[in-house]
Amino acid sequence: MLTGNKLRVGVIFGGRSGEHEVSLMSARSVLEALDSQKYEITQIGITHDGAWIVGKNVLAVLSESSKEEHSIAALLPDPTRKGIFTIVSEQHGERLSLLTQLDVVFPVLHGSYGEDGALQGVFEMADTAYVGAGVLGSSLAMDKGVFKDIMRAQNIPVLDSKVVLRKQIASDLENTLSICEQVAPYPLFVKPANLGSSVGISKCNNRSDLGEGLQEAARYDRRVLVERGINGREIEVSVLGNDDPEASVPGEIIPEAEFYSYDAKYHDDHSELKIPADIPLGVIALVQDCALQAYKAIDCAGMARVDFLLEKDTDQLYLNEINTIPGFTQISMYPKLWAATGKPYSELLDNLIELAIERKADRDITERKFER
């Protein structure tokens, strides 16, 4: 499994998602923090078009349109041909050439084709250890509409919501608006059901806002979530582990704008991150318990950031969503919450890689043949 004393880790980033640029920011922090004395690191980039590329500095190629030398690559869904291959052009076609074996893959992709179970399915087919949730946990957490239905079944409080389809919005906007307005009085929040990082999210105070918000969210997903808006505090907790996960201290985001937007998360420093959150001990315990219950309910693994809304007027707690590949920039809440709990960034990465190997060992016990 080891090359010398080093574990071979492939860090995958970029991707076919509206969160492509966010992924690059997260990947930069991960690559800088991984210990080169412990790991032999291979950068694997996925372009906006979905091409896989490898090279000495793939991050620069994707983020700066660099002309640095790189090669087209592939991970085969074939457990008998493990590792990352490059595609070599020859006179009579192309051939695959093994670049390196991989002991663990660390996906740092947010949104579609990275966080929704699609990529995790490729890793499973390839029989490769990987950081984070599996196919089931990834896909259930990714779709906010389905996720909320599961939370309701678990008696975990979530806000009233409704999912409408892109086709409904395009073909009969007026009727769709009427359906959405039945969810709750304004304000309403509209968001793509399968995306994160606040991409495509709108706060709607009237019907005109709602129409614009629906069309904006429909740019990024065929399923659009419409949800009751509340005057709430944004409380987040980080979870780490497989079958026996643990929760960090909670933190609070105090956005400068009306809500924690994409720009607030990644491009300005005006929003305040309060760690630990200034909430009563009883609420801290409730947040942590609900986070762990939700994490287990969808069979999550490795890591997740669990987001809550605490209504200011009633102190009612609502679970908002689970992010199975949370932001990993130096200002992201997931690593900052663990740092405040006593686990620094580099140690957190080590733990995640260890959990990936543990999860793979557990999968390997499963019988793949039925014999009488």
105-127 per-position pLDDT tens digit: 999 998 889 999 999 999 999 99
pLDDT digits (tens, 9 = 90+) for 150-199: 999 999 999 999 999 999 999 999 999 999 999 999 999 999 998 765 77
Looking at the chain, the number of H-run helices and the number of E-run strands are: 12, 19
Q: How far apart are CA 64 and CA 49, in angstroms?
A: 16
Please name the residue that has the structure tokens 């979870």. 239
Given this model, what pLDDT does residue 3 score?
47
pTM tops 0.85, yes or no: yes
pLDDT of residue 368: 87
DSSP annotation of 187 reads: P
For the residues 3-23, what does the mean pLDDT come to? Answer: 88
- Higher pLDDT pick, 257 / 356: 356
pLDDT at 164: 97
Rg over CA atoms, the chain: 21
- pLDDT over 90 at 71, yes or no: yes
The residue type found at 128 is T
CATH number of 141-156+231-362: 3.30.470.20
Q: Which tokens belong to 147?
A: 């996720």
Tens digit of pLDDT for each residue in 188-247? 999 999 876 577 899 999 999 999 999 999 998 999 999 999 999 999 999 999 999 999
What average pLDDT does range 281-288 have in this prediction?
A: 97
Q: Under the phi-then-psi rule, with left for phi > 0, alpha for psi from -120 to 50, and beta for the rest, what region is 187?
A: beta
Contacts by 279-286 with C-beta closer than 8 Å and gap 24+?
A: 279/235, 279/250, 279/252, 279/310, 283/310, 283/315, 283/317, 284/249, 284/250, 286/317
Could you give the CA distance from residue 102 to residue 258 in angstroms, rounded to a whole number? Answer: 44
Domain extents for the chain?
2-130, 141-156+231-362, 161-228
Q: What is the mean pLDDT of residues 328-335?
A: 90
Is a pLDDT exceeding 50 seen at residue 327? Answer: yes
161-228: CATH, from 3.30.1490.20, 4.10.1240.10, 3.40.50.300, 3.90.850.10 = 3.30.1490.20
Residue 31: pLDDT band (50, 70, 90) is very high
Please provide the CATH number assigned to the domain covering 2-130.
3.40.50.20
141-156+231-362 and 2-130 share a CATH fold: no
